[in-house]
Amino acid sequence: SREWHLLSRPVGWPAPENFALVEAPLPEPGEGQVLVRNEYLSVDPYMRGRMSAAKSYVAPYELNRPMQGGAVGEVVASRAVGISVGDHVLHFGGWREYAAVDARHAVTVDPEAAPLSTYLGVLGMTGLTAYAGLLRTASFKEGDIVFVSGAAGAVGSQVGQLAKLKGASRVIGSAGSDEKVKLLLEEYGFDAAFNYKEGPVSEQLRAAAPDGIDVYFDNVGGDHLEAAIGSLNRGGRIAICGMISVYNNTEPAPGPRNLARLIQTRGRIEGFLVGDHYDLQPQFVREVGPWVRSGELKYRETVVEGVEHTLDAFLGVLRGENTGKMIVKL
């Protein structure tokens, strides 16, 4: 069974020599564990943080050990009560072909109810991130004007569509290619969208949101955040979900220069972690599941095939090669 190991900690952009795909014996499930043959692996921007040694909200990846991440697969051996051979589970033993996982850390999922990959994306972690960040952290309310960056990605595309479905008066998105911008406007129903590589974000945002914005859902940081503060209306709320523009920086990035605007607008900036909002999971699935099934909420996945391409898929996310959730299919 093949598994990815981190050999050394990347400085700046991760390089292939920081990693190795290692052949290891098939794991033996212990008491209370199941052996899972992974079918879909998740690669996510937060994994860049785990490659560094710095303490964060999840422990750094250990060197020369299998890396971890979200995965869905079929149980091929079980030494646990309540999970049988043939069941499908969502678990954290990703970046590898087979994983022995504690049954209490595995969630049974139904391949008949939804395609297995969606438990990693639109109905999974990134979906809940969009839901919790927009509704709870940004206190979204009907009539709000909403701006979201990384808008063609897994989280961002769901934020924009959720805002529309819940009565936003205008939804604006930014993304890194004209093709993605077209998708936002023509398929996801955004009212306005722009390519952030084509000109200053502040100018493009002002043109796209002439009446300002009430909510900014930040996936990117940097000049996007400064632009959003510049366009913020009175009582505006900014949810800090991610800052992908700085994840590979070796020096701290400069902060927004216009924070004083929060005084006149009484604006609020608040970060959040999806892990703190799993109490919303049942409500999220109840509300969003039917929209996904009916096609009112659309989603894309970029699927890369083969465990040997997991690293390419991860690097692809950092480079913007994905539209919607990046998935590795084994």
Q: Which residues bind ligand NDP (CB under 6 A)?
A: 44-46, 126, 129, 150, 152-156, 175-177, 180, 219-220, 241-242, 244-245, 272-274, 317-318, 320, 322
Q: How far apart are CA 313 and CA 317, in angstroms?
A: 6
Nearest to ligand NDP of 75, 317 (CB atom): 317
Nearest to ligand NDP of 47, 103 (CB atom): 47
Three-state SS at 112? coil
Beta-carbon contacts of residue 290 (< 8 Å; ≥ 6 apart): none
Least distance (Å) from ligand NDP to the CB of residue 155? 3
Residue for token pair 């930014």: 174
Nearest to ligand NDP of 78, 300 (CB atom): 300
**Amino acid at residue number 182:** K
Question: What is the DSSP code (8-state) at residue 27?
Answer: P
Least distance (Å) from ligand NDP to the CB of residue 284? 13
Least distance (Å) from ligand NDP to the CB of residue 156? 5
Nearest by Cα to 196 from 216, 158, 215, 222: 222
Nearest to ligand NDP of 23, 55 (CB atom): 55
Least distance (Å) from ligand NDP to the CB of residue 189? 18
Nearest to ligand NDP of 83, 325 (CB atom): 325
Nearest to ligand NDP of 29, 70 (CB atom): 70
Q: How far apart are CA 76 and CA 245, in angstroms?
A: 40
Least distance (Å) from ligand NDP to the CB of residue 177? 6
Beta-carbon contacts of residue 286 (< 8 Å; ≥ 6 apart): none
Q: How far apart are CA 131 and CA 280, in angstroms?
A: 9
Least distance (Å) from ligand NDP to the CB of residue 245? 4
Q: How far is CA 72 from the centre of its chain?
A: 16
